[in-house]
Structure 1
Amino acid sequence: MAVYRVLFLLLWGASAFAGGIKGVVKTAKGEPLAYAAIAVKGTNLGTMANADGRYELALSPGRHEIVFQYLGFKSLGKVIEVAGDFQTLDATLEEQALDIHEVKIGSKSEDPAYTIMRRAIAKARFHALQVSSYSARAYIKTTGVITNIPFFLEKTLKKEGVEEGRPILNESVNEITFRQPNNYRQRVISTRNSMDNSAPSPNAFVLASFYDPTVGDAVSPLSPKAFGYYKFEYEGSFREGDLEVNRIKVIPRSYGEGVFKGQIYIIENTWAIHSLNLQTTVQSFDVDVKQVFTPVQQVWMPTNLQFRFGGSMMGFTGEFKYIISMTYKNLAVNPAFKESVTVLDEKFEQPANDLAKKDLRTKKLNELAKQQKEVSTKQMRRIMKEYEKQERQERKAQKEDLNVVRNDSIIVDSMANKRSDTFWNEIRTIPLTEIETKSYRHSDSLRIVKQIAFKADSSKAKKDSTKVNFISLLTGRSFKLSKKWVLDYEGPFQLQNATYNTVDGYVLESSFNFKRKFNRTDTYYVKPLVRYAFGRQAVSGTVTTGWNGRRRGISLTGGRYVSQFNADNPITANMNTTATLWFEHNFMKLYEKDFGRLSFNYARLADVFSISGNLEYGRRYELSNLENARPWIRWNQFEFTPNAPFNQEYSNKLAAKESYYRFETHDALTLNVSLTWRPGQQYSILNGRKRYLNNKNPSVILKYSKGIPNIANSAVDYDLAELSLKQDVQTGVRSELHYTLSAGAFLNNRSLYFMDYKHFMGNQAFVQYGDAFSQFRALNYYRYSTSERFLEAHVVNESRRLLLTRIPLVRLAGLKENLMVHYLLTPTLPHYTELGYGLDGLIPGFPFFRAEAVAVFQDFKYQRTVFRIGTTLKFGGQ
């Protein structure tokens, strides 16, 4: 289940004390305050209450001042003398009353929220970089309740302990160290899961900060671009000790995915976050984020975090909560950020002095702060920009890899999944509720039952790993042959292996993939494939052997097989089966070949280049339709076309009105090479392995195809060169512009056959699938293929707020609108253009479906309009 997850992984303080405090945090009406924050003033100790408002906190004997916090309520401090045992300390919090300053809000006066937010935004990078390092321990509790399960999965999931209304619980304790700019080290000390105690954690969280421009894929209210996405409203302030805290209402200009709404609390003068309560939506899930910050060595750090996700996906409905209790220790403040600086809003007041460019370039941040105690928001941004530039230069001089965005390592303690209940009772900082305790008891009972059943027939369990039954023979399955050898068997009645076309009739395929894994990245494989065409009564097949490594691979394939004239396979075998049998459209055009092919690929050479290609020698045969080819439904207006494709360029050369491409059996030696250059590749590192991030820089792709003559009777002689430019440009929240520009020409076309022409990814079926950004919607598959030259362009703009998505209910449903232009120019096709409009995410919970309407123009003259139902999924094999 794809869920938007945001998390700060921080610290849980030491708890191995003999005594402490416990109690209930509630309102004046006696209502419990779920997940209230409890901190010990002047220390790194703290915890959170549970869903019932109960808490426990281990403390050393002595005098302690305890601070209770909850969003929207006054903080409460209590002093207690702790002896050797746990003492009860309840807390009743009062709702926070806001003071509204006398301010003029009207057409000529600006809401004071804007001057507060301008200064908070200007100082966001200061706060993001203020801590140079820390060590931490985090207690994380995840609870989830599924309220609706698709009926066909109820019995299966019930066996695994998943039922409607039954809570799912996960706990983990993690030790973490952080060092600027991006180094995180995590050690999982203990983990416990009411679903399956074998996994360290079911959650894959992403570290994020509201001081950063984005949180997940949503724009932070403290982003430099925030005023383009939000309006702000001042709701008042309150005093907390010596501090004044402003409550700002965050109002998205258009609510939906990618933006927040709610309240953010900003501390006067320091402009740091005090707390926040924000909501957003992700793929029809409602997401609530609550954070409470606490001063640690005069730096306000998040110590109480709550995330709630509620909604539905693919028939499942539920709610999930992530509660994090943390403390900090060994926190080091960057010396450059120790000097306090007053940030002025230049819209109302200017600093006494301006910063000289020479000072910006030559002086450190703390020196500038001593020199000039007051700076404008504009100057603050310039200072931080120059600081990061200098810091980047220093890292470069120390030969650090500047393309590393995150550097993580995660170690799971060998005892993490084996901790006893006694251990958890001592280390747990948030007490379990009664329903959570019952969840563990139920899962423990279910686990014992499974273990007894397994041990009762262990020999049968071993046999099951290699057992073959009638169903597996038909559909396939995986077999573990030994510790390192695995066999993946695809049966003939898998969806993609049972097909129909007018050349072969009904077709069944089956393959055996023997794989040997040498390590985490290197795999050797041998894959024989058998194909039987019932109409032709012909057996064919291939054998592939090769090696796949980390971002590279090489393979050798040989045998006899059928291929589409367009090697990019514009229509899948299953889609062609449906079109042929149900609608009398045999779009797929095939030929057969005996061949041997050597293929290779290398991705991200030096993190910039990727190269792939193949060298193939083959004998190619023409195929014709079967005489008895029949659809299931006969349509009076349709009929099967010959298997030989019709091509306008070929027809013009023969001066024939309707000339389908025919060819004689021949031999061909061909070479294809593709080189991609994409600079600026960034990546994260996890346990020493690179994970490449989505690169927004343009890709330059150079392709070269060569028909090599006079070797082993090869009858082809041509040279085709292509150059492409491809990029995805973010234009807003959940809005992107995708473009692909390509041009190419045959430098030599002395001898080539139709499968050697330049073909285009056309579509004549009602369903549009595959790459939505570089495929035509209504172009004939082969009519305009060329052996001369071409110019091709695809531009697709995805927007979350265009026409229909301006309606809030439509936008909140997760729909996106697409505007598209597809263009092709060849010697026989003057200015073919498609102008289209599409809607993504029409089916709730299934974001990969879309509907499109496309107008087709030729030589800038309107021809027709087509409608397409699209999906990014592919149905079956090629």
Structure 2
Amino acid sequence: MRKYFLLLAILISVKTSAQKIYGTVFNEKGDLLPYSSITIKGTTIGASANNRAKFAFNVTPGIYVLVCQHIGYTTLEKKVVINSQDEEAIFILAQQKLVMKEVVIKSNGEDPAYQIIREAIKKRTYYFKQVNQFTCDLYAKDMIKLRHLPTKIFGKKIPDADRQEMMLDTMGMGIIYLSESVGKVAIQQPDKFKMQVISSRVSGSSGFGFSFPTFISLYQNTVTIFAEQLNPRGFISPIADRAIRFYKFKFLGSFWENGKEINSIRVTPRRNYEPLFSGIINITENDWRIHSFDLSLTKKSQLEIIDTLQITQFHVPVNDEVWRVKNQLLHFNFNKLGIDAVGNFVNVYSNYNVAPNFGKGYFERVIIKYDTNVNKKSKAYWDSIRPVPLEREEIKDYLVKDSLFERQKDSAVSKTAIDSLKKKQGKIKVTDAFWAGINRTHYSKTNTYTWGVNSVLKNLEYNTAEGLAVNISGYYEKNLLKRTKKLSVMPNIRYGFNNAHLNAWTDVTLRSRDLDADTKIRQNEWAFSAGKRVSQFNKQSPITPLVNSISTLLYGDNFMKTYENYFVAAGFTKQYESGVRFNVKTLYEDRISLNNTTNFTVFKKDSINITPNYPYEKISSQFTRYQAVIVSVDLSFKPGQQYIQFPYRKISIGSKYPTFSLNYTKGINGILGSDVNFDKWKFSIANDNNFKLWGTLKYNIGMGGFLNNKSVFIQDYQHFNGNRSTLAAEYLNSFQLSSYYANSTISSLYALAHVEHHFNGLLTNKIPYFNQLNWNLVAGSNTFYVDAHSNHVELFFGLENILKIFRVDFIAAFEDGGRRRTSAISIGFGGLLGGSINKVVNTNKTNGF
């Protein structure tokens, strides 16, 4: 009984020791002042008002002085006494009256704002490095809301079921994403970062809502906001070292706060289509630090994806010397293709410690770690810790979506739910296999798996060896051993109508799934393949079937050279948390030549261009059947890998360092009748380096050769990925104007390099009218060298981000010491969306054996 009384006493004490201060912020006209900052004086504890200008936060009994701030309005203090009841505090802020102090106007008529900015620039590096390390608490609330969703996009109707799932009203309006998170952040100069996510919630989901925290500091020369996709160059700070070259400044006056004079300055870009801010920045007198700012970016600031972005920050003193960010608001607008959306990302920072004691090894590879129970906190918990009150529509969004999610979760394994999921998929239509493909999930309490058949028509191809070739492929995937393993089976059937050859093979992979997030990543994969297939002589498959089909039919250019093979292959891959990746593959092939069986072209005169179905530039006749046993070992290392650790898995977020790769391949003679005997190696270094305003440099540099070339057939030569099509081949791994096989080699040493620089708006943003297109310059070179008679250099420059998708290059190539010269125009995918398309296209290509 005594235990129960003790528990009751604790509950009572908790309830009575956590009261709430709440209120609303108005201006003198009675208008709301949303996202005002409210802070307990002398601390960094406080709240942010929401979009309805309401605020609330919990405190223990005591006497508090609240400080309310809003840019453009006079700061107001109010004493609040907390006993056993919640207390309301209404703030009415007066318009800030700026005083034009006496200033010395220079003979050239320069505005006094410039001298203030010069002083702030002098102090920029000091304030950026002032605090070597610190910790703070962080609360974040992210909300994205649709104001309109059209019924169709690109002529395709948005299903009513999708609109209902997003819970939009009849006008296509409603919240589509709402999340809150609480975390503890630790930072150490120059680049150490760690965050512990204590709690997180997403409306209508059990997911993890915390995006990578956005720390926006104008004390950096260039400011990155969200991800590099908004602008890989970053945006130039109004107090950057060369800010006066980029901005115009106007002194608006000064105001006083807690005995400190603060200068208010309007910031305006000197030129449009530069990565520059517009708005107001407030800088303290004498010590020249940032007090607050309200800045915006638009399309004229080279802003990508979204249309406008407004950033508001308030800084407060942590001690007598150090000021830190207290509140931050990011408000953005998106309006494209009839989709109108807005978003508000609110961050509230508190409890700064600028002298923490980080133990040895505190900063590790895991930079964001989610607690095991991160998404299991109650509604009462969130109501007690939230420093930004929910708005009416946000309360409704949580209530409706969370209730629906709980009902669906509780009945997820019920027969009714399973039947509902099966019904939602609809009936299988045989016609889907021809164009759309079939993708199904078999739902079951104990035996859930997915399977499908890929589109037949989309995988048709034409070549001179098989004529019209049809490819039928499918997949089957299932989680095994309590979801710790994933099995994938991919059967393939290929039939050539002209040579009447049937090929069939199957790929099987078994991947591990790390479900224990507290152990180091040691993912592994077993892969097995067997059957009979058609392969390109260059196993990196530099020519896609679609490109080859078009070039053959329209021009008679049958660049793709293929052969058949019975094969068995096995591979093992292991990946470590350190960034090391190890792969070993073994292959047996019984290689059979394929000769041309048709010379059909759309225009009969083009059939004269058709060449034999083997690399005729390198070998004089078709090869005879032989066998090969090959073992290949790959080792790659990308140091500095960083991870986000969720409760049951880790994901890599990459590294700033290059990837080092080493390959060794052995052709083994005598085993299973193998006729090959060779040893070859290759070493490469690849990376992307973002130089902010100066653009992004990408490179892939390598060298290699044959240590032993006693018996090497054309399939096992070192091939340089050429291209003879107007459609660009894979950037950084191909030579756009080189032959596919003319330079293939078994030399003891060769070298290659791919280097390209993406200017990301540099230079092109200086050209009037043209800068409005937001097309970006790209330039570089691709080269390889074997010897004096086998070498290739190509120089290129072009434009990318055309319609956000395309890239066009002019290329000049020099071979054989410059004795042969060619030039051409190349079209490919590049830019904001095109870069992603390019990755998908190249990821789907066949690599390896």
Give the TM-score taking structure 2 as reference length: 0.79
User: How do 1:268-667 and structure 2 match up within 5 A?
Assistant: 268=285, 272-280=289-297, 282-285=303-306, 286-296=308-318, 299-312=322-335, 316-324=339-347, 326=348, 328-329=350-351, 331-334=352-355, 398=360, 400=361, 404=365, 406-413=367-374, 415-416=376-377, 419=379, 429-431=387-389, 458=417, 460-461=419-420, 463-464=422-423, 469-471=428-430, 475-480=437-442, 487-493=449-455, 497-504=459-466, 505-518=468-481, 522-549=485-512, 550-582=522-554, 584-603=556-575, 606-607=578-579, 609-627=580-598, 630-631=600-601, 633-634=602-603, 636-637=605-606, 639=608, 641-650=610-619, 659=620, 661-667=621-627
Instruction: For residue 564 of structure 1, report the CA deviation from its aligned partner.
Output: 0.5
Q: Shift of residue 819 of structure 1?
A: 0.4
For residue 581 of structure 2, give the secondary structure of its aligned residue in structure 1: strand
Are the counterparts in 2 of residues 25 and 49 from structure 1 also a CA contact under 8 Å? Answer: no
Separation of aligned partners in 2, 1:874 and 1:766: 19
> Shift in Å at residue 765 of structure 1?
1.8
3-state DSSP of counterpart to 1:768: coil
Q: How does 1:149-188 map to 2 (within 5 A)?
A: 149=150, 150=153, 152-156=156-160, 157-160=162-165, 161-162=167-168, 166-168=173-175, 171-179=178-186, 181=188, 182-188=193-199
- Structure 1 residues 723 and 138: CA distance shift in structure 2, 3 A: closer
List gaps (5 residues or longer) in structure 2: 1-13, 229-233, 513-521, 830-837
Q: Hey, what's the Cα distance between the residues in 1 that align with 2:18 and 2:772?
A: 49
CA distance in 2, matches of 1:785, 1:801: 38
Q: Which amino acid aligns with 1:124?
A: F
- 1:73 counterpart residue number: 73
> Helix, strand or coil: the match of 2:557?
coil
**Which residue identity does 1:277 align to in structure 2?**
D
Instruction: Give distance in 2, aligned partners of 1:82 and 1:304.
Output: 24
Tell me whether 864-873 or 693-702 shows the greater mean CA deviation.
Answer: 693-702
Q: Is the partner of 1:95 in helix, strand or coil?
A: coil
> What is the Cα deviation at residue 69 of structure 1?
0.6
CA change 1:172–1:739 in 2 (3 A) is: closer
Q: Contact conserved, 1:68 with 1:91, CA < 8 A, in 2?
A: no
**CA spacing shift, 1:537–1:52, aligned 2, 3 Å:** same
Structure 2 vs 1, CA of residues 478 and 311 (structure 1 numbering), >3 Å: closer, same or farther?
same
How far does residue 438 in structure 1 lie from its aligned partner after superposition? 7.0
Deviation at 1:97, TM superposition (A): 1.1
SS in 2 for 1:123: helix
8 Å contact from structure 2 (residues 486, 511) kept in 1: yes
With over 3 angstroms needed to count, the CA separation of the structure-2 counterparts of 1:685 and 1:251, relative to structure 1, is same
In 2 relative to 1, CA 527–335 (structure 1 residues): closer, same or farther, beyond 3 Å?
A: closer
Question: Residues 712 and 23 of structure 1: is their aligned pair in 2 closer, same or farther, counting only changes over 3 Å?
Answer: closer
Which residue of the partner structure matches residue 517 of structure 2? none
1:25 aligns with 2:65: no
User: Which residue of 2 is the match for residue 240 of structure 1?
Assistant: 257
Deviations 1:460-504 (A, max 9, x none): 315448976125655121434656766443425256543333322
Q: Distance in 1 between matches of 2:202 and 2:450?
A: 33
Deviation of 1:828 after TM superposition, in Å, equals 8.1
Letter in 2 for 1:548: R
- Shifted more, 611-620 versus 107-116: the winner is 107-116
Structure 2 CA distance for aligned equivalents of residues 240 and 630 of structure 1: 84
Contact 1:506 1:533 survives alignment (8 Å): yes
| Aligned-pair CA distance for 1:296 | 4.3
Tell me if structure 2 keeps the 8 A contact 1:17–1:58: yes
Pick from 856, 861, 864: which aligns with 2:813? 856
Q: What's the counterpart of residue 122 of structure 2?
A: 118
Uncovered stretches (5+) of structure 1, i.e. residues with no partner: 1-12, 337-390, 651-658
Aligned to 1:785: 744
- Give the fraction of aligned pairs with identical amino acids, expressed as a percent: 22
Shift in Å, 1:559: 1.2
Q: Can you list the C-alpha shifts for 1:558-585, whole angstroms capped at 9, x where unaligned?
A: 1111101110010222333343445543
Aligned-residue Cα RMSD (Å) equals 4.2
Note the C-alpha offset of 1:38: 2.4
- CA distance in 1 between counterparts of 2:333 and 2:659 reads 38
Query: Which piece of structure 1 moves more, 816-825 or 153-162?
Result: 153-162
Q: What SS does the corresponding residue of 1:836 show, helix, strand or coil?
A: strand
* Residue 827 of structure 2, aligned match among 842, 859, 869: 869
* Match in the other structure for 2:678: 718
Question: Aligned partners of 1:175 and 1:605: how far apart in 2?
Answer: 27
The 1:17/1:402 distance shift into structure 2, 3 A limit, reads closer
The reply to whether residue 102 of structure 1 matches residue 59 of structure 2 is: no
Q: Verify the 8 A CA contact 2:140 2:182 in the aligned structure 1.
A: no
User: What is the match of residue 92 of structure 2?
Assistant: 91
Aligned counterparts of 1:257 and 1:614: Cα–Cα separation in 2: 50
Whole-angstrom distance in 2 between the partners of 1:402 and 1:202: 23
Residue 36 of structure 2: aligned partner: 36
Q: What's the offset of the Cα at 1:78?
A: 3.1
User: Aligned with 2:50: secondary structure?
Assistant: coil
8 Å CA contact 1:139–1:171 kept in 2: the answer is no
Assess, with a 3 A threshold, how the Cα gap between structure 1 residues 259 and 694 changes in structure 2: closer, same or farther.
farther
Deviation digits for residues 227-279 of structure 1 (CA, Å, limit 9, x no counterpart): 69965847354321122334456667877686645444344455543222233
Deviation at 1:754, TM superposition (A): 1.6
Instruction: State the TM-score, normalized to the length of structure 1.
Output: 0.77
Give, in whole Å, the separation in 2 of the partners of 1:275 and 1:768.
48
| Deviating more after overlay: 584-593 vs 782-791 | 782-791
SS at 1:127's partner residue? coil
Q: How many Å separate the matches in 1 of 2:585 and 2:759?
A: 39
Query: What displacement does 1:114 show?
Result: 1.9
2:701 paired residue number? 741
Secondary structure at the counterpart of residue 767 of structure 1? coil
Cα distance, 1:539 vs structure 2:
2.5
Q: Deviations over 1:363-385 (max 9, x none)?
A: xxxxxxxxxxxxxxxxxxxxxxx
2:760 maps to 800
SS at match of 1:825: strand
* Distance in 2 (alpha carbons) for counterparts of 1:838 and 1:857: 18
Count of residue pairs the alignment pairs up: 776
Instruction: Give the superposition deviation at 1:666.
Output: 0.7
| Residue aligning to 1:204 | 211
Give the Å deviation of 1:842.
0.7
How far, CA to CA, are the matches of 1:476 and 1:402 in structure 2? 47
Q: Deviations over 1:161-197 (max 9, x none)?
A: 24665131655454433445433222226x463xxx1
Contact kept? 1:312, 1:318, Cα under 8 Å: yes
Distance 1:263 1:807, change over 3 A: farther
Are the counterparts in 2 of residues 19 and 61 from structure 1 also a CA contact under 8 Å? no
Offset of 1:541 from its aligned partner? 1.8
The verdict on how the C-alpha distance between 1:703 and 1:436 changes in structure 2, with shifts beyond 3 A counting, is: closer
